[in-house]
Each structure stands twice: as structure tokens, then as C-alpha cells.
Structure 1
């Protein structure tokens, strides 16, 4: 086989070094991992520890190679270790890793973000998507003088207290904490509605008239698997927010610069008041941003009274990586057409394989993101996503891993495709997919 072929075709992988590292990690790190989804609890077994990556490929500490379908959960739109990004980081690192003072690149990054996302008139750089969403909510509250926010079931906005709230017994019920450590007081200010249900959202707003500061959502959801907005849904939310003086926040940490240069808001033609960004804007480095209308963003200190700060915000290494990647995306719009074509082949091929095997599973796709739901029901919200057969997915995941395909180790996560994915690699994926579906279902 060539270097660009799937190498792991044996019945079981040698993961002995990964297993040893995980055993060590559990003595020092909660659960042995620094982010819960990495723990493989949803699919069984121990996590795989990675050593290196290039292009479409991952290599683990035992030397196994995998075709990567998560791409660091989205940032690696150009594949792993693209020369333009790595070279920019190397050059910037020689000038120091951090200054704690303004730099030219912060200005250039802000100008580039504004150029690519026209709804953003001013922008503040932070260090993660969670920081971006937490800060955006605080600014919206400061701008409106209101306390409550509306979020949607199945949308994930990071681990800020306001976002870790589960729905109550009905759409109008006040939320309850979904994680220990989140207070009931925080929950009282967080209202939750079903995604893709415009009428439920309107009832929630009317029941809390004049109290809602912001409505935040993933315009295309990637955290209950990939779920697209129904026709007219985003436009309807925009109209409701305008009518009731609510700040509409699009969390485009995943979708920003991935579904289009201007993100989901460009793709669907809907303009939010504020936008949160992350992942791709760092080129693989930790970075985030929030921005929006000037009158809203001028509430942020030191221009206004809403406080938010960060020692490493606008970090010179992260901004160097981000500018290199965003500039490439800006100058090569044709890559989005090719990403769409390649991802359509992956999603359509997976759907056809399932149909051929009599499984009729649901495959959702928007641009270079897609998900396979192990259910024959359409998936438009969290309740429908939960009809999936999680045990069958676990068997499928392990079968794919043994064939050299690295999928998200959780059913409710979207897959992300990079420009390193070729037609030849799509063919290899589809072969592995068919074999793994047969193995997972005993067909």
C-alpha cells in the first residue's frame, strides 16, 4: 500500500502504549483526559493517544495511522500541519511567545475578521470559544439591562455556567442546573427551547416579555450531531429578536469560516447582532473572538463598562497562525466548492451503503460537516437525535477504528472534513464504512 492508504486492516489494533499512557493519566488527570469527549466512554475501550499528524492523517504513539474525520474538532480545515500555518508560527515564535502588550497582528486579525464577516463591526480577541460565548452573553446583558437568556436544547456553547442548563418539564419552564457546581440562581436566568421550533421560542419570549437580553444558538448545530436549521427558522428568530429588542447571538465557533468564508450567516443570509468565533481563526492554536454591532461592542471595557480581560488575548503565536489560515481561505474561495463536493460524496455514499444494507440511517450534511445518526427517523432536534442506537454506533466506531478511520468517539458530534481529503481517500472511507456497518450489525 502507498503511504496515503489505510494501513490498519487487522482485526484489532496494537494500542499497548496508548493503554499504558491512559493508565498513568488516570492517576494525575480527572478521568485520564483533559476534555470529557476524549475518554471513549461513549464507544468503549480506552482513548488513543496521538503522536503526530499531517494532511488527512493521524499517527498514534503505537505507530498506527488513521484517516482523520474530526480534524481537532474543526480547526484543521486545511488539514494537519499545513506549511503556511506552521511557517507563520515558527517565524512568530522567534520574536517571543507573549508580550502582554498590543501587537500589529491583533489589528490585522481584527481587520481580516471584519472583512470576512460583515456583521462584525468591532471584535475582541479571547483565548477560547467558551470565553467568547461567556463574554458575549455578559455584553448583551450589559447592553440591554436585562438578565435572562434563551438557549436551545442540544446546542453547546462551552462550559460556562449559563450554558450548562437542561430543559425543564415544558418549553416555558425555568431551567435547572445540568451540572453540579452550577447554581439555581444562574439557572433561573437561563430559558431553554427546542431547536427548530419557532413557535415554542415565541411563546417563551412572550412569557418573559421585556426580560430576555439575548438569544444564543448554533445556526447549524454540531453538538448533537450535525443538525441543520429548518427553512425559515433562522429568519424567524431574527424577526423575533428584532421585534422584542433581544440581542441575537450566532455561536459560529464551529461553523465560522467553515461553511463559507462568512460562516453560516453568509450561507443562510441572516445577520446576527453578535457572533462568537473560535477553532478555525486560530489555525490550530487556542483562540476565540466575539464581535458584532459597534453600539453593542462599545459597551466592552475600556470603551464601556462591561468588563472582560485576558492576559494572553491576542497572543502573537495564535494570531500569526490565524492570520495565515484566514488569509488563505479569503484568497481561495474555490476550496469551499471542493469541500462541499467531497463531503457530499462521503455523506451520500454513507447514506447509500446504509440503504443497501437495509439500515436506512439518517445522514445529515451542511457544507464540510456531516453526521450519521443510527436511526431511521429524520433528525431535526435533540429528541430526534436521541432515538439513535448508541450501542450499534459504538460497535461501528470500533470497527472503523480498526480499519484506520478516526471518527468522533461520541455519537452526538459532527464530523469535519479538510481540504486534504481526496477522492481516493473517500473511496477508502466508503470501503471501510461498508465493512464496518456489516460487522457492527452482524450482517
Structure 2
């Protein structure tokens, strides 16, 4: 058993001070049981907790650490920026450089606004779409997470044409009336929503590759059909690429699938590990943002000099080293194929989904194409598997409904370590001989 005495003590202290003892819910380990691991440091592929245990990291801060932890190129950029102060509340050169990099790398982005998080980016993109179209309603998909903005915390209704209801206290019914939900990968449901709300839908927002119900790819032709529907009905198509941006390709999912959204939201990787977000897209839409236009959005720390220093350094490295994406895909394919093969050999026949350097093992034998499919997973067995992997030094997302992220620091040797642990942990989780 791992010695987690210090983590346990810190969690006890935290619960008296912080709601649930954590500053983001999934960190509490509620889905898998037990207490969270408090981290002390990280380098490359490895995390070290406050009790001195070491783990190979397959979360990578939920995506940003694509180059592994503490990469020299990012740390050097932050060290260079650090002596010049931590914040100005005024424009800086690096804001311009980051905007130029985003525009150069991401298809369809003509103008961009920097913010402080992915949540803020998605909230702002929706507001801009409403201002631009003069319409109120949005369409989102069940299981897609776009941050904790009120408009996104809406549970699905009983059918495609039934209004959703708030799934968080503090979200009003009025907000819910303007949020329409559909199952992911269900084009017919989207068409029905648009037909039932003619000239009322301002925006359709989705994760082009979903990472928040586990990893779920789009069905063949789904994204292109959404693009065509939005064009036909004057709806602003928003790709939430907070996870997938600069991860699936230099230009994210838009580049990977050859489809341009009207707006895109970004985060995680563009901060190199520091808090940052951005939204951007067509110039005629972005020109509605204040002070150019009438849609107000502001932020004291937007374009923070340390965050932009880290982000610019990481984006430049990715831009100048495109072979990274082939390496990441090869490594992740080995992990996904190996996991699939091990499960089958043990008679489990579980589903493994992968796109680029993101993958998920679902504890169900049925294909997972939407949230209802994902919910068929055996979460109790997953929890046992999670803790068995943790004991073997593999740090996974503490929920069946989260994706894993691979970094360039994962070597062939570490792939082998993961697969060995995977086999042993599946055997333990299912009491197989």
C-alpha cells in the first residue's frame, strides 16, 4: 500500500477550509473513493506527491502539459519574464505575439481575444454569438463540458424537443429556457431543435472531439453536417477546443477534420501550464467585441505577462516541431491498442476510444458514441482499477468520464510500464486468476 499519510492530513485540513476540500470537484476522488493525492512536484512524465510517491502522469494537468512537466523551453521563457513584474494591466508585446501565433496556427481565426480560462472563453464566445445574431438560444450537447457558466450547466430534457433543466443550484430556469440540448453524434436531434426554434438559435457549441464523458470521437460526417446546418440557418458554429486545441494537431480539430468553425475557444496548452484562455474566429463576428463593438467583455489579468510568456514559448515549439504530433499519435496508439488487447485477452472486451494523444478505456463492451453509452460503464470496477493502477505508480484521471492525455515525455519504456500495470490492475479489479 502507498504511504499517503501527508496527503490524508492535508485533505483533512482542506475540508475545514475549502468546499469539499478541493478547488475543482473531480480532484476529490468522489467517483473512485478514497482521498485525493496531494502533489509536490513534477518533471517530464513523473509526478511526486507530498509523501514521496512517484507516478507516471497520464492526466498532464488535464491537457496543458503536452511537452511533459517543467519543459526547459517553457521554464526559460518564464524565468526571462519574471523579473519584469507579474502583471501590468496594460498591453504587452507578448499578447500580440500570442495572437499572431494563434491566427497562424488555427484555421479560421482572423481575430482573437485573450482571457483567463477556458470557461471564460466559452462564456464570452456565446455572448458574442448572441450579440452578432440578435438571437437568444444556444444548442449544446449532452456530456460536452464548456466550463461552469450558467448557460452550460443544463441537463437534458426528456426528449430532443423538451427544454432542459438546471443541473446546478444557482442556475435559473430562465437561463435553462435558452439552452437546448441534444445527444452527441445525433444529427436528427439537432435538426429537430432548429426546426422547433426557427430563427432563434444564436450558436451551436460543442467539443469537436469530446473529452468530458471520456474520449468520444465524432461520427463520420457529423461535424461537416453541423457546419452545413449552421451555415444554412445563420447559426454561429463554435468549436470548444480548450482540450483539443494544439493537441490533436497544430491547428487542433479544425485542422484534423478539415472543418472551419465560426468561433473557437482555446485554453490549457496556450498557457503552458499557467491560467489562460482565448476565443477567436471570423473578423466580422469578433469585431462585435468591445471596444470595437457592443459586446462587453473585460479582464484585469487577461494577457498576463507570465502566462503569455509560457504560452508563446510552448506554441512556438509546437509550431516549429510538427513531428511531435506523429510521435504523440504513435505513442498513444500503442497505449490504446495495448489496453484493448489486454482487456480482450482477459475476456473483458472493453471499449477503448482514441483520437491523437487522447484516449479512454470504458468499462463497457458496447461502443461509446454519446453520454448514454458512456453511462453503461461499470464504474465500480473502474474505481477498483484506478486504485490498482495508482498503487503501481500510474496516475489516471479519477473518473470513468474523463479522458487521458499523453505527453511527449512518455517513452516506449513507460508505455510498457503502463501496459504491465494495466494487465495486473484489470486482473485485480475483476478478481481474475
Give the equivalent residue in structure 1 for 2:373: 384
Deviation at residue 118 of structure 1 after TM alignment: 2.6
2:388 is equivalent to residue 370 of structure 1 = no
C-alpha contact 2:75 2:310 (8 A) present in aligned 1: yes
Question: 3-state SS of the aligned residue for 1:150?
Answer: strand
CA distance in 2, matches of 1:44, 1:331: 43
CA distance in 2, matches of 1:117, 1:156: 21
Q: Which structure 2 residues correspond to residues 103-122 of structure 1 after superposition, within 5 A? A: 103-122=92-111
Task: Give unpaired runs (5+ residues) of structure 2.
Answer: none
Q: Which structure 2 residues correspond to residues 165-184 of structure 1 after superposition, within 5 A? A: 165-184=154-173
CA distance in 2, matches of 1:392, 1:385: 14
Give the equivalent residue in structure 2 for 1:303: 292
Q: 1:316 aligns with which of 295, 305, 308?
A: 305
Q: 1:42 aligns with which of 22, 31, 38?
A: 31
Give the equivalent residue in structure 2 for 1:237: 226
Give the equivalent residue in structure 2 for 1:228: 217
2:40 is equivalent to residue 62 of structure 1 = no
84-93 vs 129-138, which moves further: 84-93
Q: 1:28 aligns with which of 17, 24, 32?
A: 17
Q: 1:280 aligns with which of 263, 269, 279?
A: 269
2:146 is equivalent to residue 157 of structure 1 = yes
Deviation at residue 155 of structure 1 after TM alignment: 0.1
C-alpha contact 2:107 2:255 (8 A) present in aligned 1: no
Give the equivalent residue in structure 2 for 1:144: 133
Tell me the matched-pair count. 432
Question: 3-state SS of the aligned residue for 2:250?
Answer: coil
Task: Give unpaired runs (5+ residues) of structure 1.
Answer: 1-11
C-alpha contact 2:68 2:409 (8 A) present in aligned 1: yes
2:413 is equivalent to residue 424 of structure 1 = yes
Give the equivalent residue in structure 1 for 2:206: 217
CA distance in 2, matches of 1:104, 1:69: 34
TM-score by length of 1: 0.97
Moved over 2 A (4+): none
Deviation at residue 90 of structure 1 after TM alignment: 1.1
2:80 is equivalent to residue 95 of structure 1 = no
Deviation at residue 369 of structure 1 after TM alignment: 0.1
Q: 1:208 aligns with which of 178, 197, 204?
A: 197
C-alpha contact 2:107 2:254 (8 A) present in aligned 1: no
Q: Which structure 2 residues correspond to residues 257-272 of structure 1 after superposition, within 5 A? A: 257-272=246-261
Question: 3-state SS of the aligned residue for 2:61?
Answer: helix
CA distance in 2, matches of 1:78, 1:216: 28
CA distance in 1, matches of 2:351, 2:104: 37
Question: 3-state SS of the aligned residue for 1:71?
Answer: coil
C-alpha contact 2:127 2:295 (8 A) present in aligned 1: yes
CA distance in 2, matches of 1:173, 1:119: 33
1:248-285 CA distances to partner (integer Å, 9 max, x unpaired)? 00000000000000000100011000000000000000
C-alpha contact 2:42 2:48 (8 A) present in aligned 1: yes
CA distance in 1, matches of 2:164, 2:373: 21
Give the equivalent residue in structure 2 for 1:130: 119
Question: 3-state SS of the aligned residue for 1:73?
Answer: coil
1:99-152 CA distances to partner (integer Å, 9 max, x unpaired)? 000000000000000000131000000000000000000000000000000000
TM-score by length of 2: 1.00
